Amino acid sequence: MTDQPLLDEIKALIKASGPMPVWRYMELCLMHPRHGYYVSRDPLGREGDFTTAPEVSQMFGELLGLWTASVWKQMGSPQFLRLIELGPGRGTMMADALRALRVLPPLYQALHIHMVEVNPVLRERQGATLANVRNIDWHDSIDDVPEGPSIILANEYFDVLPIHQMVRLENGWHERVIEIDPNGKLQFGAAPEPTPRFDVLLPPLV
């Protein structure tokens, strides 16, 4: 459930600027600096809202570690490798992957770990889980990770990113928006004007 202060803030934004695209509404609900779902709490585990594969079995992360070793060899075994994880939860998957990678000392020595995480609660948990890992940095955005040979891990990450939603009306494709109904509640709507040339992006079957 969305926190009431956040709902009030969203309504104020809509009243001031007009209907809000679905992607912006999702972004605020998930990443608002005070009330965002993925910023203000640890959502994982029995005390949270869901459990991911790394929390169920260490085998999941260990297999990803072995996969990383295979890809590193395909890359020509560079002497320096950035291992990046997007949305690393409690750090469990990275810890399990690194455990598997220790069997390949040349790769393990080449690693620099980069954790892309915006949640301060989870950053603290990751720091505790990976306390014995050397060469590790945290970032708010993947854009902050320095360039270089890299392998990126992202488990259950892309499925929670804000998205654009489109709806087809008589005069074309319109972006779906969030607006306020006559009773003061949020509801779905559609942008008044079609999105220019959106139809050319769609597969012919659609």
113-150 pLDDT, tens digit per residue, is 999 998 888 899 999 999 999 899 999 999 999 999 99
CA distance 29 to 24: 9
Structure token pair of residue 123? 């950053």
pLDDT tens across 60-91, in order? 999 999 999 999 999 999 999 999 999 898 89
Residue 178 burial by Cβ neighbours in a 10 Å radius (0-12, 13-18, 19+): buried
Count other C-beta atoms under 10 Å from residue 48's C-beta.
11
pLDDT at 71: 97
Assign domain 53-155 to a CATH class. Answer: alpha beta
Q: Cα–Cα–Cα angle for 34, 160, 129, nearest 5°? A: 70
- Output b/e per residue, 97-114; b: 16+ Cβ within 10 A: bbebbeebeebbebbbbb
Please state the φ and ψ torsions of residue 52, each to the nearest 5 degrees: -100, 165
Question: Could you tell me the CA-to-CA distances from 199 to 57, 195, 203 in Å, in that order?
Answer: 44, 9, 9
Q: Cα–Cα–Cα angle for 147, 148, 151, nearest 5°? A: 105
Nearest of 94, 61, 68 to residue 149 by alpha carbon: 68
| Residue 188 reports pLDDT greater than 90 | yes
The model scores a pTM over 0.85: no
Name the segment(s) of the chain with CATH classification 3.40.50.150. Answer: 53-155
pLDDT tens across 149-186, in order? 999 999 878 877 899 999 999 999 999 999 999 999 99
Structure token pair of residue 57? 């079995």
CA distance 86 to 161: 11
CA distance 85 to 88: 6
CA distance 131 to 196: 50
HSE of 156, CA atoms in CB hemisphere, 13 A: 13
